[in-house]
Amino acid sequence: MAKRICWLYRLETVSYDIVWRWQQNLLHLRRQNPDLPDALLLVEHPPVYTLGQGADESFLKFTPNAHMPPVVRIERGGEVTYHCPGQLVGYPILNLRRHRPDLHWYLRQLEEVVIRTVSAFEIDGERSDGLTGVWVEGRKVAAIGIKASRWITMHGFALNICPDLSGFQHIVPCGIADKAVGSLSEFQQGLDRLQVQPVLEKQFAQVFQCELVPQDLCTLPSSLS
C-alpha cells in the first residue's frame, strides 16, 4: 500500500497574519477538491499573542498597545498563547477522512509527534490528564490548538525549543494558571530549530503514516482568486 503524500513547506520566520492566510487558503482549496494532498507548514513567528475563538480576554495581563506584540483572535479552539522566535510552529492541513475522523484522536497524535521528537533528545515528554499539550517535568513545552472544517484541519502545535519565555509572563498561557511554561533548551542545552525540525518531520511522517514531500514556497496560495 502506497503511503499518503503530505506536502511539506519549510518556512523561515514569517509573520503570523501571512501564514494564517496561507492556512485558510490551503484549507479552502481542499474543501473544494478533497483529493489534494495533505500539507504541513513548519515556521517561526515574530512575537505575537493569539486567542482562540472563544478565548477569555481576562487571561491577557495587559491592555493591547503599540509597545506590545500584536494580539490576534483566530478560529482555533483554546485560550491565549504566545509565539516568538525559538519556537517551532507546525500547521498540518490534513483531511482526517484519510486518517481517522476523530478530533480527540488527532490531538493525541499531535502530542505523540512531539513526545517522540523530544524523546530523541533524551527528554521525557508527558501528557497531562484532561489537558492538551506536552509537558516535561511539569513545564509545558508544547501547546496545541486546532480547527477543523469538513474534517480538514488547520492551526496545530507550537514547540518551545529555545525561545525567550518572558513573553509568557504577560498572559495566563492556555488559561492554565498553575502550570509553568518551559522549553527544551532548559533540559538539553544548545538545542535549536536546525537540530529539532528534521527529527520532528520524521516523527510526523511516522505517526501519520505519510511521506513528506518538500514544496517550493512559491506554490503556496496567496489568494483564492
Task: Please classify residue 106 by burial: count the beta carbons closer than 10 Å to its beta carbon, then call 0-12 exposed, 13-18 middle and 19+ buried.
Answer: buried
pLDDT in tens, the chain (225 residues): 568 999 999 999 999 999 999 999 999 999 999 999 999 999 999 999 999 988 898 999 999 898 999 999 999 988 999 999 999 999 999 999 999 999 999 999 999 999 999 999 999 999 999 999 999 999 999 999 999 999 999 999 999 999 999 999 999 988 888 789 999 999 999 999 999 999 999 999 999 999 999 999 988 987 654
Output the CA angle 161-158-131, nearest 5 degrees. 110
- Confidence at residue 173, expressed as pLDDT on a 0 to 100 scale: 87
219 three-class SS = helix
Q: What positions carry a catalytic annotation?
A: 174
Into which CATH architecture does domain 4-219 fall?
2-Layer Sandwich (3.30)
* pLDDT at 144 (0 to 100): 96
Q: Which residues contact 170 (CB under 8 A, 6 or more apart)?
A: 49, 60, 61, 62, 68, 82
- Report the pLDDT value the prediction gives residue 108, as an integer from 0 to 100: 98
What is the distance between the alpha carbons of residues 4 and 67, in angstroms, rounded to a whole number?
Answer: 45
The whole-number pLDDT of residue 122 equals: 97
The residue extents of the domains of the chain are 4-219
pLDDT, position 147: 97
Please tell me the predicted confidence (pLDDT) of residue 225.
44
Q: Which residues pair with 91 in a beta bridge?
A: 41
pLDDT the model gives residue 3: 80
Give 115-163 as a DSSP string: HHHHHTTT---B--TT--SEEETTEEEEEEEEEEETTEEEEEEEEESS-
pLDDT tens digits along 54-66? 889 899 999 989 8
Q: Are 94 and 37 in contact (CB under 8 A)?
A: no
First to last CA, the chain: 36
Residue-wise pLDDT for 11-52, tens only, equals 999 999 999 999 999 999 999 999 999 999 999 999 999 999
